[in-house]
Every structure is written in C-alpha cells, then in structure tokens.
A and B are shown apart, each in its own frame.
Chain A
Amino acid sequence: MNSNISHAHGHDEHEASKFGMWLFIFTELLLFGGLLIVYAVYRYRNPAAFQLAGEELDVMIGTVNTVILLISSMTMAMSITAIQKNDRRMALIFLGTTIFLAVVFMVNKYFEWGEKISYGFFPDTTSLHELGQGTILFFGLYFVMTGLHALHIIIGVVFIGYILFKVQKSEIHSGNYYLLENGGLYWHLVDLIWIFLFPLFYLIH
C-alpha cells in the first residue's frame, strides 16, 4: 500500500539487499552446519562402516559433478562481469550455461540416486537394514544431505531463470544488477556446500 515510500534508493538499496542476502546465506550455512554436526558425530562413532559404505559411491560421478558445479560457479561469476561491462549478450550466454550445467548436475544425480535405490541402499528398506547401523546412518545422511543440496540446486535454477528473464528484458543492467549479484551469491553458496559434501561422502578412505 505504501510502495511510494522509498527509504533507501540506488546504492543504498543495493548495499542493503546484498547485506540481507549475506545474512540469509549465514542461515543456509548453519542449516547444513546442523547436518554436518550429525555427520561428524556418526562418522566418529562408526568409522569403519562409513568407510565401507562410502566405497559404494561412484567417485567418478562425484568428481564429474564437482567439476560441473565449479564451472557453473565460474560462468555465474562471469555473467556479473559481463553485466558490469554492459555486455547483455554475453551475460545471457553465461547465465544460460549456468542453468544448463545445473541441469546436467541433476541428471547425473538422478542416475546416481536411481542406481543406489535399485541396489536397495534406501532408507527403511530391509536390504539396507541388513547392512548394519553405520551403513543405515551413512545412507540416511547421504540422501538427506545430497537431497537438500539438490533442492537448493532446483531453487537456484528457478532463481537464475528469473534473473535471465530480467536481463533479457534489460531490467537488470550495469546500473542496477543487485538481483544478479544476489543470485550469484546464492549459487556460489550451493557450490560451497558441495565442496564439503564431496569429500565427506565420496572420498572417505
């Protein structure tokens, strides 16, 4: 009702929204932080079972997905550079590439999960329950943590898609690109989380 009240504008608004985005990122970090605590406790209590269960994961798929996510983080960062240089076409290409890479990540994830489920490594199945407590915990955490991460990827794709649309309509430009910058921060957060998930699940040795 009082959209005509503008409290902060231009640079101020930009700073405020970036600040708000960082605060939101802190909540995300602690959300996954809670899961990391759970992981740390159970791995500490079941080191051998975690190592055995970890070997069931495909290091190849994990590595490929890590590389994909790192590249997508770079293309996202580059789209900001492009906007700053007023190069709308390149910005669109970079954003499109980011979305494409995110989709490839999800496709890999789909096959990876599908394989695990077909082997019966899924919560609350008798085949998993036969494998013992450490394995149950490992796969419980695996599905929750990578699942929550995948959910963030999906939200990121929607968010970046919206940004791409705004860039297309020139509503995001070199004078006003804080939405793009916040989208970038979010996407790097998703990358940041994966940087920890990858060694914790795929590279236990």
Chain B
Amino acid sequence: MNEQIATHHDVSYLDYRGKYKGIFAWILSTDHKRIGLLYLYTIMAFFVVGAILGLMMKIELFAPGKTIMGPQAYNSFFTLHGIIMIFVIVIPGLPAVFGNFFLPLMLGAKDVAFPKLNLASWYFYIIGIIVVLFSQFMGDGAPDTGWTFYAPYSFKTQANVLPAITGAFIMGFSSIATGINFIVTIHRMRAPGMTWFKMPLFPWTLYATAWIQLLATPIIGITLLLIIAERTMGIGIFDPALGGDPILYQHLFWTYSHPAVYIMILPAMGVISEIIPTFSRKSIFGYKVIVISSLAIAFIGSFVWGHHMFTSGMSGVSLFAFSFLTFLVAIPSAIKVFNWVSTMHKGSLLMRTPFFWAVSFLWVFMIGGLSGLMLGSLAINVHVHDTHFVVAHFHYIVFGGTGFAFFGAIHYWFPKMFGRRYDASWANIGWLTFFIGFNTLYLPMFILGIQGMPRRYYDYLAEFHSGNIISSFGAIVLISGILIIITNLIRSARHGEKTSVMNTWGGKTLEWTVPTPPPLENFDEIPIVTKGPYDYN
C-alpha cells in the first residue's frame, strides 16, 4: 500500500494514470481537481455560446425595426441566453470550478467529503444541459418565456418549454449535491489547527453559498415541478382561470432566484478577497467582518426576493418590507468593498493580470450595487421596471461581478492548475479589451432605461438609436476581448511555458504550498495550521 501511495505523490493529477484511459480517466474520475476542470471546460464552451447569443441580440438592436431576426426569434434568443448564462454558467460557475478545485487544497484536505457524489453532480449538470438543449429542436419551437418561466405564459405558450424547465430542475440536483459536499467538507476536513477563523475567505464564501444552494434550490425545484404539472396535467395551481395566483409563482420563483444571485456573487467576493491581499502583500483588512458579512448576506438575502415584483401587484406592506430588506442587504456588501479598498491602502501592489481583474471587479460591482439600491427604492423602480436599466444593473452584478471574478480567478490560479504560465501581455490586452467593451456595452443601457426603452423587445423607437449603436459596438469589443482571453488561455494550457514554481504570486493560503501542478492526493502530509490565512508579517 505504501509503495502505491508513494507514487501518487510524485505524479501530478494531470498525468495520473488510473484504471481508465483517455477521456474516461477524466469523466470517470472522482478527483476533485479533474472534476473542477470538467466543469471549467463545459462552462467555458457554453459561455461562448451564451455570449454569441447575446451578441446576436445586440446586433438585432443595432437599428430599429427588424435587423437580423424577428420578434419570435428574439424571444427565443433571450430565453436561451438567460437559461444558459444563469443555470449553466453563473450558478455553478465559481463553486463548481474553483470551489471543486481549490476548496480541498485551501483546507489542507485530500479531496471533498463525498468524491462520488461530486462526480455525480457533474453528470446531473450535463444531463440537465442536454435536456435544456432538446427544447431548441423539438416540439413547436424554442421556448420564448425568458429564463424566469413566468406563469401563466409558461404553460400557455405553444413553445417547447417543458424540456427547458425539466433541464433546469435536473441541474438543481447538481447544485444541491455540490452544496452538501462543500458543507460537510468544510465542517469535517479542515487541516488540524485550521479553526473556523483561520479558514481563508474563499472557503468561507463557499460555505455561505453552499447553505443557499442547499436550502433555496428545493423551492425552485418544487416550483418548476408545479409548472411541469401545470403543463402536463392542468392542475390549476398558478392558472388564474382556475383560481391560481400567478403572483404566487413569482414569489416562489424569486424565493430561490434572488438568493441565487448570492450563489453567484458570494464566491466572487471570496475570489476577490483572495486576490487582493496576495497582490497587496498585506493581510486582509477586517477578516472577521468579511466573514460575518458573507453570512449576513446569505441570511438577509433570503428575504428580499420581492424587489423583483414591485410592479406585480403585491400588497403595500409587502412593497415596504421588501424595499427595506433590500436596503438592509446592501450594508454587508458595501462593508466588503471598504475592506478591499483598505487592504490595498499602503500595500506594495503587484500589478499583474489577476489584480487588474480584481480592481476592475470593484468598479463594476460598485456600479452594479449602487444601481441596485436605486432599483430597491420603490419610486425609481416603478419608473424603470422592465427597462434596459434593469438589464444593465444585473449585467453589472452578474456578469460584471461573477464574470470578472471568474476571469480573475482563472488568471490567478492558472499556473497552479495547469503547471504552465500564460502569456501575460495577451492576458492584459484581453482584460483591457474586455473591460472597455463591457462598459461601452452596458453603461449606455442605464441611460436608455431611464429614457424608457423596455427590455425584451427586438424593436425600439428611433430616439433610442444612438444609445443602442454605442451599446452594440461595445458588444463587439467585448466579444473580441472574450475571444482574446480564451484563445490565450487555451494556447497557454497546451503550449505555455512549463512551470513548477509552487507559489506564483507569494500567496499565503495552503494551495500555494503543494507542488505545481498538484499531485493526485494534494498533500504529502496533511499540514498543521498555526497562523491565519493572510499572514504577511
């Protein structure tokens, strides 16, 4: 036994040859690092698809009237764009890729608590994607409901909504399985000496996220099941003609889908909390406050869902309560921003690609967050509800927040994951193009929204033309940035300069103490932790 174990330590997880060969060595592997990469490849592939769908929509909006597609096609495009981007990319995104890969490494563990369940979660995810894709090619046309599947349209439309809903439902299992795995791992598998408050911040945010995944996902699960029952059996639960209340669907949908935004953004905050101290050469400012803010966001965030429904016809008391709670949840998020800025203050900053992503994250997250407060106040919300303002806001949070953190994370951990360096100048060019494109695309949409341009229309009045031209131009710049970044990463993963430097950036967390790329079992000997995670003294 010892001999066999000994060889494991020498061989990196990338080169390891187990029972299975070729692709099976990956898709049947229960190694958390390989599963992380399986998620990474799937997510990147679908991200390109989703981004192209988004680009097509922006091209359609380049000029008023029909440009490249008609209204029905436009409906299908934003529906598929939403389903892919939300359910396939940003919800699993950071936890499934970087959580899987780095959580055990950062805790000093050899794997997650349930490796087989971990692999199963990837299969649920893939099956869910396949079922969703079926919706495009079967039945009476691609779904046209938007990713929100609002009742009663979602069971009245002739479009092929059923597979899309079923696929989203199946992906829920994947999310729950990951959540269970992470909670048990964090509770039981921290290295000796790593007390709760010596745990790095990325695991902390994954912990808060995992609880949301666990407790909120069943609510959307049952809601989607009810829509399935509505479509197949006509039970009438959400059908106003049969006494059902469509607003109740919105309540249940957002009871999950608002906390889902925190599933997306909390791990992003965790990544930023890793990058900023490493590149500032300074201990993070207010570690415990960041931890408590993460838990507070997860908790309060569970009761703010109604701010998506301010114009749906809720009671006045509800409007007041949800608006108040929304302002409340902004406090812990803002605290974190101050923490990050204070961490950089008087630090010796290392200007490298991951740091650029982290700093630009602060910019987009601030714009997204502040516009979120505007939307949280009732009077403004009624004015800009269902306009481009909302679209701009959530792209700043969801794409800006999670997306910037995702690209920051991959540039931060890339050398560790692949044992190769990426081309830094192309990475920087990619980042700059992306950043310029992103803001050119979404900033004008705030103005368009205030002027009154509604969302989800393929057509608009002539007065919105100039804003849309700028925005569509930004989309082209943005997609060029994405292509530069992804090409650079793929090329570097295959041909980049090999490196076995353990600690690329001088980070203090445990993943930088294992060989590069990490061996199959991560740690030769389980480390004993004595210091806090960001000890730069």
Contact = CB atoms under 8 A, between A and B. Distances in A.
Instruction: Decide if A and B touch, CB cutoff 8 A.
Output: yes
Interface of A: 1-5, 7-8, 12, 15-16, 19-20, 23-24, 26-35, 37-38, 41-42, 45-46, 123-124, 129, 132-134, 136-137, 140-141, 143-144, 148
Contacts of B221: 31, 34
B252 A144 contact: no
Contact of A137 (B8, B180, B237, B521): B237
Interface residues of B, number: 56
Contacts of A30: 215-216, 218-219
B188 interface: yes
Nearest to A27: B218
A124 B219 contact: no
Interface stretch (B51-59, B239-247, B321-329, B438-446): B239-247
A34 B243 contact: no
A28 B176 CA distance: 11
Contacts of B28: 1
Contacts of B181: 20
B234 A34 contact: no
B378 interface: no
B12 to A, nearest CB: 14
Interface string B204-232: 00000000001111110111011001000
B184 A23 contact: yes
Contact of B218 (A7, A34, A38): A34
A1 B20 contact: yes
Contacts of A141: 237
A20 B112 CA distance: 12
Contacts of A148: 225
A141 B226 CA distance: 10
Given A1-B19, A1-B20, A7-B111, A23 B235 contact: no
A58 to B, nearest CB: 21
Contact of B237 (A12, A23, A28, A38): A38
Contacts of A19: 183-184, 187-188
A23 B229 CA distance: 27
A3 to B, nearest CB: 8
Given A23-B180, A123-B236, A8 B31 contact: no
A46 B243 contact: yes
Nearest to A3: B30
B214 A27 contact: yes
A136 B226 CA distance: 14
Given A23-B180, A35-B222, 17 more contacts: A1-B28, A2-B8, A4-B5, A5-B8, A5-B111, A7-B109, A16-B184, A26-B214, A38-B226, A41-B245, A123-B234, A124-B234, A124-B236, A133-B243, A136-B243, A140-B229, A141-B237
B189 interface: yes
A31 B181 CA distance: 19
B190 to A, nearest CB: 12
Contacts of B469: none
Output the residue of B5, B117, B184 with the most chain A CB within 10 A: B184
Contacts of B229: 123, 140, 144
A144 B176 contact: no
Contacts of B473: none
A54 to B, nearest CB: 16
Contacts of A37: 251-252
Interface in B121-180: 176, 179-180
B5 to A, nearest CB: 8
Contacts of B18: 1-2
Contacts of B218: 27-31, 33-34
10 contacts: A2-B8, A8-B188, A16-B184, A16-B188, A26-B215, A29-B218, A31-B218, A34-B255, A37-B251, A140-B237
A3 B30 CA distance: 8
A32 B176 CA distance: 16
Given A35-B222, A123-B234, A124-B233, A8 B113 contact: yes
B495 to A, nearest CB: 27
Nearest to B220: A34
B29 A1 contact: yes
A32 B226 CA distance: 12
Contacts of B30: 1-3
Nearest to A135: B243
A146 B30 CA distance: 37
Interface string B40-77: 00000000000000000000000000000000000000
A37 B226 CA distance: 13
Contact of A41 (B1, B233, B248): B248
